[in-house]
Amino acid sequence: MSTENPNQIPKVALVGRTNVGKSTLFNKLIEEQRSLVSDVAGTTRDRFEADCIWRGQVIRLIDTGGLDVDTKQEIERGVVEQTEFAIKEAEVVCFLVDVTVGPTTDDYLIAKRLFASKKPVIVVGNKADTPALRASVDGEMWNSWPLMRPLAVSAARGIAAGDLLDEVYKELIKAGTPPTDVTTVIPMQVAVLGEPNVGKSTLLNAVLGEKRFIASSLAHTTRQPNEVSVKIGKQNYVFVDTAGIRRQARRLQTGSFLEKHGVKQTVELLKKVNVVLFVLDISQKIDVQNKRLAGLIAEHGTSVVIIANKWDLIPDKDTTTILKYEEYIRAHLPQINYAPILFISSLTGQRVPDIMKKISSVFSSRFTQLLDTECKEFISKCIARHKPSKNKGTWHPNITEFVQTTINPPRYRLTINAPREDALADSYVKFLERQMREQFNFIGTPINVRVVAVQRKHGEARTPLMRKNKKMSGRHN
């Protein structure tokens, strides 16, 4: 991930002796294969930097080489120099040790060096792949340790990675250099989508406070996506005005080559942008094409704000008018029922200032991150409230795991003990999505829950969650 203001992001250095898993942890935290990982000691020689997003905030991680190399060689001296430079510029240092071998002489020497640096240090006990190894950090071998007891993690399996980041964030806040909000770091890609002549260009001009896009009463004034980069406050935006999309039959009968090409570009754009402003002419009925556009938005996993434009044309409004129109929109656009609705007039400026606030809220919700413990607590409560319901066949599915796999947008993996994914009713997945929206911050953002079927073999031990399911549902399994 690239950023335009790298100096404002606090830095966190990963240090330690060779082959303790620094690069593996680095790759796990940034969620991509950036550093070379191998069992050969000294694989990492230079320092690598990349941004890590956690709970909607950003830190910059620095991966370093081992501090226990033989400094008689010129290359090894360079490795140590690079690592010491990383420690110097970092606000917090994560010192990795290997819990499978315990503290070594080199670990003690590095600990003394870090203690002398007077930087906040979090000791990370890596390779804690089993419960016994995770418990070992409280054992006698670490009693004489000069720094804090290690926080047990498994970089290879991702165990306790979120706990580590929470501790890093606490130390950064104590140091007066808190993590940077993601909305001030990543440029927001915002596309304006809708049928022809609903006021997309006029809306963008009103939002930007200047005539950056051609607007007229003639349909298809905008022939292809047209983007502009702006900075409002601390946030960078890329706004894209798109061509109005008509029904395919009408495009084939009367549409020009430019219109058809612009529509194709608009569909491709949905794969790239973060947020869509879906503009409706609220003075007109919601037609089939609006429903198709809503389906396209949902299909591409784009966050969305529904802009009910031309509110000034609605006559005889009272205190209940907005509620009635909101119910009407929800009923006709169920595919994006998670989208907030703003009733505005781009012509008069009514509620236009609210659009920027809503974009920021929706964008932030794309980066909502839940800990594994939060996911487990959530799914347990859902099962207690409503046991999993079967779909096809006679097999009653048990939920064995529920974890978050990605952000931007949030995606989750729901593992069931069943021979096939469709053993679990779609209605139950929708129930989980509704519960997540009620409990967590997912404003205007789709939630993708992927069901994975893993059938338990005869005699295989049950997980604690599976045992709890059986106790509650009795006849399941």
Considering only residues 251 and 61, tell me which one the structure prediction assigns the higher pLDDT.
61
Ranges 219-228, 372-381, 400-409: which has the least confidence: 219-228
On the question of pLDDT at 232 being above 90, the answer is no
What percent of the chain has a predicted confidence (pLDDT) above 90? 43
Domain CATH code at residue 52 = 3.40.50.300
Residues 196 and 317 in one domain: yes
| pLDDT score, position 78 | 52
* 129 pLDDT higher than 70: yes
Q: Provide the pLDDT for residue 207.
A: 83
Q: Are residues 68 and 24 in the same domain?
A: yes
pLDDT at 224 over 80: no
pLDDT of the residue at 475? 33
How many distinct helices (H) and strands (E) make up the chain?
14, 16
**In the predicted structure, residue 74 carries a pLDDT above the cut 50:** no
Dihedral sign of CA atoms 369, 373, 376, 378 in order = negative
Q: Provide the number of structural domains found in the chain.
A: 3
Note whether residue 222 is domain-resident: yes
The answer to whether residues 381 and 282 belong to one domain is no
Q: Which two tokens stand for residue 339?
A: 């989208």
Q: What is the mean pLDDT of residues 399-425?
A: 90
* 144 vs 32: which has the higher pLDDT: 144
**Where do the DSSP E strands lie in 131-185?**
151-152, 180-181
Same domain, 211 and 237: yes
pLDDT attached to residue 351: 93
Q: Are residues 203 and 346 in the same domain?
A: yes
Better-scored residue on pLDDT, 109 or 393: 109
Give the residue from 182, 201, 224 where a domain finishes.
182
Pair 313, 413 in one domain: no
pLDDT at residue 354 tops 90: yes
In this structure, of 88-97, 189-198, 349-358, 457-466, the range with the lowest mean pLDDT score is: 457-466
Q: Indicate if the pLDDT at residue 396 is higher than 80.
A: no
Higher pLDDT, 261 or 475: 261
Query: Residue 468: its pLDDT value, please?
Result: 41
pLDDT at 358: 94
Percent of the chain with pLDDT over 70: 79
Q: Answer whether residue 192 is part of any domain.
A: yes
Report pLDDT for 252: 40
pLDDT, the chain, mean: 81
Over residues 292-336, the pLDDT tens digits come to 889 889 988 899 999 999 999 999 999 999 999 999 999 999 999
Domain containing 317: what range? 187-360
pLDDT of residue 76 exceeding 60: no
- 170 shares a domain with 97: yes
Q: Where are the beta strands (DSSP E) in 354-410?
A: 398-406
**pLDDT digits 0-9 by tens, 170-220:** 999 999 999 998 877 778 889 999 888 888 888 888 888 766 544 444 444
Separation between Cα atoms, residue 427 and residue 354, nearest integer Å: 34
Does a structural domain hold residue 291? Answer: yes
Residue 349 and residue 301 in one domain: yes
Residue 384 within any structural domain of the chain: yes
Specify whether 39 is located in the same domain as 170: yes
DSSP letter string over 181-225?
EGGGTSPEEEEEEESTTSSHHHHHHHHHTS--S---SSTT---S-
Distances (CA, A) of 70 to 13, 18, 41, 410: 21, 11, 12, 45
Query: Which segment of 151-160, 198-207, 350-359 scores lowest on mean pLDDT?
Result: 198-207
Do 215 and 174 share a structural domain?
A: no
Between residues 41 and 322, which one has the greater pLDDT? 322
pLDDT band (50, 70, 90) for residue 140:
confident
**Which of 55-59, 101-105, 257-261, 441-445 is predicted least confidently?**
257-261
Q: What is the mean pLDDT of residues 134-161?
A: 89
SS (H, E, C) 264-307: HHHHHHCCCCCEEEEEEECCCCCCHHHHHHHHHHHHCCCEEEEE
Query: Are residues 61 and 120 located together in one domain of the fold?
Result: yes
